Structure 1
Amino acid sequence: MPPTTKEDELSSVEPESVSERMNQADIAYSRLKKLILDGTLPAGAQMLEQEAAERLDMSRTPVREAMVRLRQDGMVEIRPRHGMRVLPVSARDMADIYEVLTALEGTAAEAVARRGLSARPLNALRGAVTDMGKALEAGDLAAWAEADERFHSQLVQMSGNTRLIQMVGQLWDQAHRARMLTLKLRPTPTNSVAEHAALVDAIASGDPAAARQIHEDHRRRAGTMLVELLERLGLSQL
Structure 2
Amino acid sequence: MTQLKDESVSELLKGISLDANQGMVQQIYAILMDLIINIRLKPGRRVSEKEVAESLKASKTPVREALIKLEDIGLVNIVPKSGTYVAPISLEHYIEACFTRLQLEIGAVRRAAERSNDLKAVLHLEATINRQIKALGEGDDQLFFQYDEALHKAFFEMAGVSGVWSLVKKSQTDVYRIRHLKRLYNIRRGQQVIEEHRDIVAAIRAGSPDDAEAALVQHIGSLESEIDVLSSNPELLDYIETLNISGK
Q: Match of 1:10? A: none
Q: 1:223 to 1:149 in 2, by over 3 A?
A: farther
CA displacement at 1:68 relative to structure 2: 0.9
For residue 148 of structure 1, what is the amino acid of its counterpart? D
CA distance in structure 2 between the aligned counterparts of 1:95 and 1:228, rounded to whole angstroms: 13
Q: 1:232 to 1:99 in 2, by over 3 A?
A: farther
Deviations 1:165-199 (A, max 9, x none): 12111133332121122115214443222211111
Q: Match of 1:223? A: 226
Q: 1:158 to 1:110 in 2, by over 3 A?
A: same
* Deviates most, 201-210 or 162-171: 162-171
Describe the SS at the equivalent of 1:150.
Answer: helix
CA distance in structure 2 between the aligned counterparts of 1:140 and 1:224, rounded to whole angstroms: 27
CA distance in structure 1 between the aligned counterparts of 2:173 and 2:235, rounded to whole angstroms: 23
Is contact 1:91-1:235 (8 Å) kept?
A: no
Deviations 1:79-118 (A, max 9, x none): 1233321112233332222121111111211121123352
Q: Match of 1:197? A: 198
CA displacement at 1:203 relative to structure 2: 0.8
For residue 23 of structure 2, what is the amino acid of its counterpart? N
Q: Match of 2:246? A: none
Question: Structure 2 regions of 5+ residues with no counterpart?
Answer: 1-19, 244-248
For residue 175 of structure 2, what is the amino acid of its counterpart? A
CA displacement at 1:137 relative to structure 2: 4.8
- Answering whether residue 47 of structure 2 is matched by residue 47 of structure 1, we say yes
Is contact 1:70-1:76 (8 Å) kept?
A: yes
Q: TM-score by structure 1 length?
A: 0.78
Q: 1:85 to 1:47 in 2, by over 3 A?
A: same
Q: 1:139 to 1:165 in 2, by over 3 A?
A: closer
Q: Match of 2:124? A: 124
1:84-163 matches, within 5 Å, as 84-116=84-116, 118-137=118-137, 141-163=141-163
CA distance in structure 2 between the aligned counterparts of 1:220 and 1:143, rounded to whole angstroms: 23
For residue 34 of structure 1, what is the amino acid of its counterpart? D
Describe the SS at the equivalent of 2:221.
Answer: helix
For residue 131 of structure 1, what is the amino acid of its counterpart? R
CA distance in structure 1 between the aligned counterparts of 2:77 and 2:156, rounded to whole angstroms: 28
CA distance in structure 2 between the aligned counterparts of 1:200 and 1:62, rounded to whole angstroms: 41
- Answering whether residue 207 of structure 2 is matched by residue 206 of structure 1, we say yes
CA distance in structure 2 between the aligned counterparts of 1:88 and 1:47, rounded to whole angstroms: 14
- Say which one has the larger Rg: 1
For residue 212 of structure 1, what is the amino acid of its counterpart? E
CA distance in structure 1 between the aligned counterparts of 2:212 and 2:122, rounded to whole angstroms: 14
* Deviates most, 103-112 or 24-33: 24-33
For residue 217 of structure 1, what is the amino acid of its counterpart? Q
Task: Give runs of ≥4 in structure 1 deviating > 6 Å.
Answer: none
Deviations 1:27-57 (A, max 9, x none): 2222222222233312111112222221221
Question: Structure 1 regions of 5+ residues with no counterpart?
Answer: 1-19
For residue 196 of structure 2, what is the amino acid of its counterpart? E
Aligned length: 218
For residue 97 of structure 2, what is the amino acid of its counterpart? I
For residue 74 of structure 2, what is the amino acid of its counterpart? G
For residue 223 of structure 1, what is the amino acid of its counterpart? E
Give % identity.
Answer: 27
For residue 182 of structure 1, what is the amino acid of its counterpart? K
Describe the SS at the equivalent of 1:190.
Answer: helix
CA distance in structure 2 between the aligned counterparts of 1:75 and 1:49, rounded to whole angstroms: 15
For residue 221 of structure 2, what is the amino acid of its counterpart? R
* Deviates most, 150-159 or 222-231: 222-231
- For the aligned residues, what is the CA RMSD? 2.7
- Answering whether residue 239 of structure 2 is matched by residue 235 of structure 1, we say yes
Is contact 2:44-2:88 (8 Å) kept?
A: yes
Q: Match of 1:30? A: 30
CA distance in structure 2 between the aligned counterparts of 1:117 and 1:173, rounded to whole angstroms: 34
